[in-house]
Amino acid sequence: MKACWSNRPEKKKGTRLRDPVPARRPGAYVTPERRELPLTYEHMRPGARRAAVNLHHLNSGLPGAAGQEGTTVNTNAAEPVPDGKTSAPGTGEYLAGVHEGWHAIAPDALQYAGTTRNGIQIVPAECGQFVRLAPKYGAYVRAEVPVTHDPCPECGWIVAVATGTVDREIRLITPDRQEAAALVRLGADPLLPGALCRAVLAAAEDPSGPAVIRQLAAVTRHRPGLAISEECAEGGCGHRPCTYPGSLAVCWACSLRTGDEAGEWHGQLMAEATVTALCGTLAALAAHYELLPAGEQGMASS
């Protein structure tokens, strides 16, 4: 994810720090579907959520995708997903949805979909948010684009637990060898998030429970990340191989970033609130599951 020390775009090239993986930077994979309805919904498991998705919510008026102030919603079941650039999903597969990231939609959630006057289908995702159905992309495939560019952590873990693909989800949140080596040099353990997820699941009576999913999603969001220089990120640093000198181990979720006022530097780290790894959230979880050294556990609980 593109990042820098401050919100001053006039700083010299090479002083801005960003994520080493281009696909994870804001704007790296932007489609019209990414700019979606500003609706949120309480995090609820499917049964409770579906009971709450009723005419009162859907008929309150949803913002139109074409710049309308609002539009009437038809609460009939959604139409079958048409073929787009990818094949239509098979029976029982999760569908792809978008709203500030990529989400998983259970097939039976389509019966609770609302349709705007301009044909946009709004469906409750597994995480509980209202999202736009993205039939162009067909099935929700966690390990492939576009989902890998900005996956919803809650959806990712709900699907992983439900489909028995926990190991794959842990691999997807584990940095590659080059990034991991840089994190180790900076004093951050790149394998801690994976070990912590396994500990959370091992201690859970019901791995699919909301409290468990919430913890797993927090590990995904707060795992140590690497912020590197702009030159290293763009391959113009001259390091062969690049070991990311001058990088920082940060928590992207806790750190503040610049907004639209920064123009092309939107999404970069702000010096006023750059939180280094481990952040308090991850340290507290690791201490609870006794995955920190004794001395660090005391610091995390204080």
233-241: list long-range contacts, CB under 8 Å, 24+ apart.
233/2, 233/18, 233/19, 233/20, 233/22, 241/178
* DSSP characters over the chain: ----SSS-TTSPTT--EE-S-GGGSTTTT--GGGS----------HHHHHHH-SHHHHTT-B--TTS-S-B-EE-SPPPPPPP-SSPPPPTTPPEEEESSSEEEE-GGGGGG-EEETTS-EEEE-TTS-EEEE-GGG-B--TTSTTGGGSB-HHHHHHHHHHHT-HHHHHHHTS--HHHHHHHHHTT--TTHHHHHHHHHHHH-SSTTSHHHHHHHHHHHHHS-EEEEEHHHHTT-S--SS---TT-EEE-TTTS-B--GGGGGGTTPBPGGG-PBSSPHHHHHHHHHTT-S-HHHHHHHH-
With tokens 């481990």, the residue in question is 278
pLDDT number for residue 237: 74
Q: Are 117 and 71 in contact (CB under 8 A)?
A: yes
Q: Which of 227, 102, 246 is nearest to 175 (CA)?
A: 227
Task: Note the pLDDT of residue 29.
Answer: 36
What residues does each domain of the chain span? Answer: 17-28+154-301, 32-147
In the chain, what's the furthest Cα-to-Cα distance? 60
Q: Rounded to an integer, what distance in angstroms lies between the CA atom of residue 186 and that of residue 180? A: 10
Report the distance separating Cα 144 and Cα 60, nearest Å.
Answer: 35
What are the pLDDT tens digits along the chain (302 aa)? 334 333 333 443 334 566 666 555 554 433 333 333 333 333 334 433 443 343 234 334 333 333 333 333 343 433 443 433 333 454 468 999 999 899 999 988 988 888 888 888 999 999 999 999 998 898 999 999 999 989 999 999 999 999 999 999 999 999 999 889 999 999 999 999 999 999 999 999 999 999 999 999 999 999 999 888 777 777 777 777 778 888 899 999 999 988 888 787 777 888 899 999 999 999 999 999 999 865 555 445 44
Residue 74's pLDDT is 40
d(CA 4, CA 25): 12
Name the residue with tokens 């990120």.
233
Report whether 174 contacts 194 (CB < 8 A): yes
CB 116 within 8 Å of CB 105: no
pLDDT score for 112: 87
The whole-number pLDDT of residue 23 equals 55
Q: Which among 149, 140, 144, 152 is positioned nearest to 28, based on CA atoms? A: 149
Give the other-Cβ count within 10 Å of 187's Cβ: 11
pTM for this model (two decimals): 0.72
Q: What is the pLDDT of residue 46?
A: 47
